[in-house]
Amino acid sequence: MAVHPVRLRRCTQAGTQWPSVSTTHPATRSTTVPPSLRSSPVKRTEGADPMPMQPWFREAKLGIFVHYGIYAVDGVEESWSFYRGDVSHERYMAQLERFTAAAYDPEAWADLFSRAGADYAVLTTRHHDGVALWDTAYGGLNTVQHTPARRDLVSGYAKALRSRGLKVGFYYSLSNWNHPDYASVAHPDPDPAIAVEDTLTNPYVVPADGEQNPDAWQRYRHYLHGQVTELAREFRPDLFWFDGEWERSEEQWGVDEIADRILAENAHTVFNGRLLGRGDYATPEQGIPVSAPDGPWELALTVNDSWGFRHSDQHFKSVTKLVRYFGEVIGMGGNLLLNVGPREDGSLPAEAITRLEGLGSWITKHDVAVHGTDAGLPPGHHYGPSTVSADRLTLYLFCLDVPREVISLRGLMNRIERVTVVGSGTELGHRTDPGLGAVPGQTWIDAPADADIDEHVTVLAVELDSPLALYSGRGRN
């Protein structure tokens, strides 16, 4: 077993409030399976594209992430605040008593997400704190039975999205730091790249006395597999966004069983990469990767600094910053999953609404450069992101800053038919310097006039005489 550098970060404050591990069965010592004996990840289609993907996902470009839960009552960090001991477990759980969902209006959410230009959304149906937003038959905490809201918050959301043609995504945490059977076994070999430093010691995660209890774990698996099947059957989501995967191995979670149970309900369901070997797409978060992940991917990004609602967090990103994030992500072939955190009553802060609407206006104006396009030029050709139309006959150059005199383009092997400003349609002059043999000269496009400059990001449409062809060599010796 690989030794993961761990440090006991938090185990003094919550004391006896940690969920106790069942001792009804004689606890046995580690059931660790050596890595060499573990089965290799099973992909959906052996030997084919390792990440087959529903076309709607690649075409969506924008999704809205919604972190909604009891943590919004006091505005403390979702789940992590009691895990880390920032607040006591008792105080965290007391939020259950004040969670009202009194202004829950999924139709208004769905309208807003449409105005933002999103094609899908992902709602936290259950975070690591274990509080389900629907009336689950598998026990544990839920908003119907354990909060004054007394309501299911999943079905209205799914219905409202569907009625507007948006795809329905469910975030679901594999881990549950409040389930009595959860902290019963340890990960045999945590991945240091994703595990947090106390994955092997935090008593919300592993047995405090180190005694593994496989029977308790089987009970947890029954609950976990039951809940995901229940969600899939009752609400038929298009996408499952798993999380918490770093705390157990694929075999411990039973990812194949989870994936197969969901696919038996709906064969077209998309899974994010946190379902480990059964994931369909990569999910970096909070920072655009320097190189694009292989295959489909999505950047999860908070509109301010927090996933859940926090009264204290006013660090909302400007619309310009969000448009830049969006342009860079789609220019690298990804989707942006932009997160908002509703207040405990279900209403969204005005600052989040204006950001989503601002992004939506920009997308509407620049729709041709967004939808029906693919990742654009590799670095080195244009100073900024770009996309290319599906027929590869139009290149869209995103100008992150206000261009001065000219915009340059390098290594273009095609002849340019026309350059226009997206939105206004104004035509721009352009000229390509002589190259040398197979090495094309540099193209210079005249900067748009002030009237054609977009307040966030200006986009130029470069129409080509033939499908995009690039020179990417080093020039003459």
Residue least distant from ligand GLC (Cβ): 300
Toward ligand GLC, which CB reaches closer, 65 or 362? 65
Buried b (16+ CB within 10 A) or exposed e, 193-224: eebbebbbbbbbbbbeeeebbebbbebbbebb
Residues 220-249 that bind ligand GLC (CB under 6 A): 243
Q: Binding string, 297-336, against ligand GLC, x = CB under 6 A? A: ---x------x-----------------------------
Toward ligand GLC, which CB reaches closer, 65 or 217? 65
Task: Indicate the helix (H) or strand (E) that contains 355.
Answer: helix 350-365
CB contact set of 395 (below 8 Å; sequence gap of 6+):
376, 377, 386, 387, 388, 389, 461, 462, 464, 468
Toward ligand GLC, which CB reaches closer, 182 or 398? 182
In the bound complex, what is the minimum distance in angstroms from residue 241's beta carbon to ligand GLC? Answer: 8
Helices 155-163 and 214-235, packing angle to 10 deg? 40
- List the structure tokens of 59: 């075409």
Using rule CB under 6 A, residue 198 touches ligand GLC: no
| Reduced 3-state DSSP string for 8-54 | CCCCCCCHHHCCCCCCCCCCECCCCCCHHHCCCCCCCCCCCCCCCCC
Toward ligand GLC, which CB reaches closer, 71 or 113? 71
Q: How many helices (H) and strands (E) does the chain have?
A: 12, 15
- Look up tokens 């690591």; give the residue: 128
Residues 42-81 that bind ligand GLC (CB under 6 A): 78, 80
Residue 417's φ and ψ, nearest 5 degrees, are -85, -40
Helices 319-331 and 350-365, packing angle to 10 deg? 50
In the bound complex, what is the minimum distance in angstroms from residue 91's beta carbon to ligand GLC? Answer: 18
In the bound complex, what is the minimum distance in angstroms from residue 161's beta carbon to ligand GLC? Answer: 19
Toward ligand GLC, which CB reaches closer, 325 or 396? 325
Residues 358-417 that bind ligand GLC (CB under 6 A): none
Q: Binding string, 80-119, against ligand GLC, x = CB under 6 A? A: x---------------------------------------
Toward ligand GLC, which CB reaches closer, 96 or 300? 300
CB contact set of 267 (below 8 Å; sequence gap of 6+):
none
In the bound complex, what is the minimum distance in angstroms from residue 244's beta carbon to ligand GLC? Answer: 8
**Binding footprint of ligand GLC on the chain (CB under 6 A):** 78, 80, 243, 285, 300, 307
